[in-house]
Protein backbone atom coordinates (compact mmCIF):
# COMPACT_ATOMS: atom_id res chain seq x y z
CA UNK A 1 0.00 0.00 0.00
CA UNK A 2 1.20 3.51 -0.78
CA UNK A 3 2.19 5.48 2.27
CA UNK A 4 1.21 9.13 2.35
CA UNK A 5 3.41 11.65 4.08
CA UNK A 6 1.19 14.57 4.90
CA UNK A 7 1.91 17.73 6.81
CA UNK A 8 -0.32 18.30 9.80
CA UNK A 9 -1.29 21.94 10.17
CA UNK A 10 -3.07 23.67 13.01
CA UNK A 11 -5.97 25.47 11.37
CA UNK A 12 -8.08 28.20 12.88
CA UNK A 13 -11.52 26.67 13.38
CA UNK A 14 -13.21 29.95 12.41
CA UNK A 15 -11.83 29.56 8.86
CA UNK A 16 -13.35 26.10 8.30
CA UNK A 17 -16.56 25.52 6.38
CA UNK A 18 -18.90 22.57 6.89
CA UNK A 19 -21.01 20.93 4.23
CA UNK A 20 -22.95 18.68 6.63
CA UNK A 21 -24.95 19.22 9.77
CA UNK A 22 -23.90 17.38 12.89
CA UNK A 23 -25.59 15.24 15.53
CA UNK A 24 -25.59 17.28 18.75
CA UNK A 25 -25.52 14.13 20.91
CA UNK A 26 -22.35 12.98 19.16
CA UNK A 27 -20.72 16.39 19.58
CA UNK A 28 -21.54 16.41 23.31
CA UNK A 29 -20.12 12.92 23.77
CA UNK A 30 -16.98 13.71 21.78
CA UNK A 31 -16.48 17.01 23.64
CA UNK A 32 -16.68 15.21 26.98
CA UNK A 33 -14.17 12.60 25.84
CA UNK A 34 -11.71 15.22 24.56
CA UNK A 35 -11.93 17.12 27.85
CA UNK A 36 -11.48 13.92 29.87
CA UNK A 37 -8.51 12.76 27.77
CA UNK A 38 -7.01 16.24 27.49
CA UNK A 39 -6.06 15.81 23.84
CA UNK A 40 -7.30 15.57 20.26
CA UNK A 41 -6.58 12.11 18.87
CA UNK A 42 -6.92 12.50 15.11
CA UNK A 43 -6.46 15.18 12.45
CA UNK A 44 -9.37 16.22 10.24
CA UNK A 45 -9.27 16.44 6.42
CA UNK A 46 -9.79 19.80 4.69
CA UNK A 47 -9.84 20.98 1.07
CA UNK A 48 -6.85 23.23 0.36
CA UNK A 49 -8.74 25.73 -1.80
CA UNK A 50 -12.00 26.27 0.04
CA UNK A 51 -11.23 25.13 3.62
CA UNK A 52 -14.29 22.89 3.44
CA UNK A 53 -14.12 20.05 5.95
CA UNK A 54 -14.12 16.75 4.07
CA UNK A 55 -13.98 14.56 7.16
CA UNK A 56 -14.19 15.49 10.82
CA UNK A 57 -17.30 17.69 11.15
CA UNK A 58 -18.05 16.32 14.63
CA UNK A 59 -14.44 16.77 15.75
CA UNK A 60 -14.54 20.40 14.59
CA UNK A 61 -17.79 21.11 16.43
CA UNK A 62 -16.58 19.33 19.57
CA UNK A 63 -13.39 21.41 19.51
CA UNK A 64 -15.45 24.57 19.04
CA UNK A 65 -17.79 23.56 21.89
CA UNK A 66 -14.93 23.25 24.37
CA UNK A 67 -13.38 26.55 23.33
CA UNK A 68 -10.52 25.44 21.13
CA UNK A 69 -9.41 27.91 18.47
CA UNK A 70 -7.30 25.54 16.40
CA UNK A 71 -7.55 21.96 15.23
CA UNK A 72 -4.99 19.64 13.60
CA UNK A 73 -5.72 19.01 9.93
CA UNK A 74 -4.34 17.56 6.75
CA UNK A 75 -4.86 19.66 3.65
CA UNK A 76 -5.91 17.85 0.49
CA UNK A 77 -6.38 18.81 -3.14
CA UNK A 78 -10.09 18.04 -3.48
CA UNK A 79 -9.84 18.35 -7.24
CA UNK A 80 -7.62 15.25 -7.31
CA UNK A 81 -9.10 12.24 -9.10
CA UNK A 82 -7.89 10.15 -6.15
CA UNK A 83 -10.55 11.71 -3.91
CA UNK A 84 -14.09 10.50 -4.58
CA UNK A 85 -17.34 11.55 -2.91
CA UNK A 86 -20.14 9.06 -2.39
CA UNK A 87 -23.00 8.71 -3.00
CA UNK A 88 -22.21 9.47 -6.62
CA UNK A 89 -25.43 11.48 -6.91
CA UNK A 90 -23.59 14.21 -4.97
CA UNK A 91 -20.67 15.85 -6.76
CA UNK A 92 -17.62 17.57 -5.31
CA UNK A 93 -19.10 20.81 -6.64
CA UNK A 94 -22.29 20.11 -4.65
CA UNK A 95 -20.20 19.66 -1.50
CA UNK A 96 -18.32 22.95 -1.99
CA UNK A 97 -21.50 24.84 -2.95
CA UNK A 98 -23.35 23.54 0.14
CA UNK A 99 -20.55 24.76 2.40
CA UNK A 100 -20.14 28.14 0.71
CA UNK A 101 -23.88 28.83 0.62
CA UNK A 102 -24.56 27.48 4.12
CA UNK A 103 -27.06 24.90 2.81
CA UNK A 104 -25.71 21.88 4.61
CA UNK A 105 -26.54 18.26 3.92
CA UNK A 106 -27.99 16.11 6.71
CA UNK A 107 -25.41 14.43 8.99
CA UNK A 108 -23.37 11.64 7.41
CA UNK A 109 -24.80 12.25 3.91
CA UNK A 110 -21.45 12.08 2.17
CA UNK A 111 -18.44 9.86 2.47
CA UNK A 112 -15.11 10.92 1.10
CA UNK A 113 -13.03 8.09 -0.23
CA UNK A 114 -9.47 7.96 -1.47
CA UNK A 115 -8.13 5.69 -4.18
CA UNK A 116 -5.04 3.81 -3.04
CA UNK A 117 -3.53 1.32 -5.47
CA UNK A 118 -6.85 0.75 -7.21
CA UNK A 119 -8.93 0.34 -4.04
CA UNK A 120 -11.24 2.86 -2.41
CA UNK A 121 -10.78 3.54 1.30
CA UNK A 122 -12.49 6.04 3.59
CA UNK A 123 -10.42 9.21 3.76
CA UNK A 124 -9.93 8.71 7.50
CA UNK A 125 -7.42 6.04 6.47
CA UNK A 126 -4.89 8.79 5.75
CA UNK A 127 -5.81 11.08 8.66
CA UNK A 128 -2.92 10.72 11.09
CA UNK A 129 -3.23 10.10 14.79
CA UNK A 130 -1.94 13.24 16.48
CA UNK A 131 -2.61 13.14 20.23
CA UNK A 132 -2.28 16.92 20.62
CA UNK A 133 -2.76 18.46 24.06
CA UNK A 134 -5.83 20.70 24.01
CA UNK A 135 -3.94 23.41 25.94
CA UNK A 136 -1.91 24.00 22.75
CA UNK A 137 -5.11 24.45 20.74
CA UNK A 138 -6.83 27.16 22.81
**Catalytic residue set:** 20
Helix (H, G, I), strand (E, B) or coil at 23: coil
Q: Are the C-beta atoms of 104 and 18 separated by less than 8 Å?
A: yes
Element (H, E) at 72: strand 70-76
* Cβ–Cβ under 8 Å, residues 28 and 64: no
CA atoms within 13 Å, Cβ hemisphere of 64: 17
Contact at 8 Å (CB) between 62 and 137?
Answer: no
- 127 half-sphere exposure, CB direction, 13 A CA radius: 22
Amino acid sequence: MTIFVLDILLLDISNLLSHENIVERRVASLSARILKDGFIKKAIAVDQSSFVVLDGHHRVEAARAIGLRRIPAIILDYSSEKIVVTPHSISKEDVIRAALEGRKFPPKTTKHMISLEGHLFHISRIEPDVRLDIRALR
